[in-house]
């Protein structure tokens, strides 16, 4: 017996659960887990969720348990073909390693951005910062 009644979830959406699903969030994060529910707002409940971080040719999975995602943060929800899941070009590494790689990547980006901003400033130009008002 499935812990989450299939009939209840199935009629709410087109997909047949429980397939592994991949969720892209607005903040750029990738979550992978079993979709247990979805509603008209695309609010999601994910079971045995893993947050997958990828840097270059490496990736790491951080176990996150049960995730309730508010629909407005969802970009994309995809069904993972379990047969294809293993032919990834990436190498899985430990959580510590991928977090370190990510930290280094953010650092590099930040420094490059600083240089860019300074170069523009030197030329009397600036990139306007995103205001919250831009959302409306």
Which residues are near other proteins by CB under 8 A? Answer: 13-15, 22, 24, 26-28, 30, 32, 42, 52, 54, 59, 71-72, 74-85, 87-90, 130, 134
Kindly list the distances between the CA atom of residue 26 and the CA atoms of 6, 23, 29, 69, 73, in Å, as whole numbers in the listed order. 28, 10, 7, 11, 5
Closest distance to other proteins from the beta carbon of 18 (Å): 15
Kindly list the distances between the CA atom of residue 4 and the CA atoms of 1, 10, 107, in Å, as whole numbers in the listed order. 9, 11, 42
Dihedrals phi, psi of 47, to nearest 5 degrees: -110, 140
Euclidean distance between CA atoms 110 and 105, whole angstroms? 9
Q: Which is nearer to other proteins, 96 or 134 (CB)?
A: 134
Closest distance to other proteins from the beta carbon of 42 (Å): 5
Closest distance to other proteins from the beta carbon of 22 (Å): 6
Q: Which is nearer to other proteins, 1 or 26 (CB)?
A: 26
Structure tokens at 125: 């130009």
Closest distance to other proteins from the beta carbon of 123 (Å): 23
Q: Which is nearer to other proteins, 3 or 89 (CB)?
A: 89
Q: Which is nearer to other proteins, 81 or 122 (CB)?
A: 81
Q: Which is nearer to other proteins, 1 or 14 (CB)?
A: 14
Euclidean distance between CA atoms 136 and 129, whole angstroms? 15
Euclidean distance between CA atoms 90 and 114, whole angstroms? 30
Closest distance to other proteins from the beta carbon of 96 (Å): 20
């Amino acid at each position: 017996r499935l812990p989450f009644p299939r009939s209840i979830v199935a009629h709410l959406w087109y997909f047949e659960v429980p397939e592994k699903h991949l969720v892209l969030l607005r903040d750029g994060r990738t979550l992978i887990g079993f979709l247990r529910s979805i509603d008209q707002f695309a609010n999601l409940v994910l079971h045995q969720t893993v947050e997958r971080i990828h840097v270059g040719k490496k990736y790491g999975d951080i176990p996150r348990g049960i995730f309730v995602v508010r629909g407005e943060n969802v970009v994309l929800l995809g069904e993972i073909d379990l047969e294809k899941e293993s032919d990834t070009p990436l190498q899985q590494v430990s959580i510590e390693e991928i977090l370190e790689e990510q930290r280094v990547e953010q650092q590099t980006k930040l420094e490059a951005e600083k240089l860019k901003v300074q170069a523009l400033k030197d030329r009397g130009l600036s990139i306007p910062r995103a205001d919250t008002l831009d959302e409306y």
